[in-house]
Structure 1
Amino acid sequence: MPSFEESLKKLESIVETLEKGDLSLEDSIKLFEEGTVLSAACKKELDEAEGKVQLLIKQRDGSFRTEPFPNDKKS
């Protein structure tokens, strides 16, 4: 399974290729399908990473505590 960075690079390459418009319809559809799979995989990894991010909060007494990173997503 490719890394997030590899998937993102491949996705960027697919977008550039599709934007050129030189491909047949069949090849364009194949690349589009591959791009949607890569996009979903990247989104999943980002969502998982977001769930792991925490803020380190300094308290008045000088100690620290962690708190989940605020999630501004609206359902």
Structure 2
Amino acid sequence: MSPTETELGYEAARDELVEVVRKLEAGGLSLEDSIALWERGEALAKTCERHLDGAKERIDAALAVVEEDVEG
């Protein structure tokens, strides 16, 4: 059983998402399999987005501290 998307780190989620896209683009899957892969891809994309949003918040917070130090 693969880890849920919330347990995956950014790189693992991104790599799995790339594999999902590759399989969907290759075709030859049943409709049910295609839908399942699509849903997994959506979940993985959301996981990547959450990681990137978290990283952006951390960067913004660090920049705010630096700006305070420069102004203060």
For structure 1, the residue ranges without an aligned partner over 5 or more in a row are 57-64, 68-75
Higher relative contact order (CA 8 A, sep 6+): 2
Q: Secondary structure at the match of 1:5?
A: helix
TM-score using structure 2 length: 0.74
TM-score normalized by the length of structure 1: 0.71
Per-residue CA shift, 1:12-45, capped at 9, x if unaligned? 0000000011101100000000000010011011
d(CA) in 1 for partners of 2:13, 2:29: 21
Aligned residues: 59
Q: Name the % identity.
A: 39
Return the index of the structure with the highest Cα Rg: 1
Q: Which residue of 2 aligns with 1:66?
A: 66
For residue 71 of structure 1, what is the aligned residue in structure 2? none
Runs of 4 or more consecutive aligned structure 1 residues displaced over 4 Å after TM superposition: none
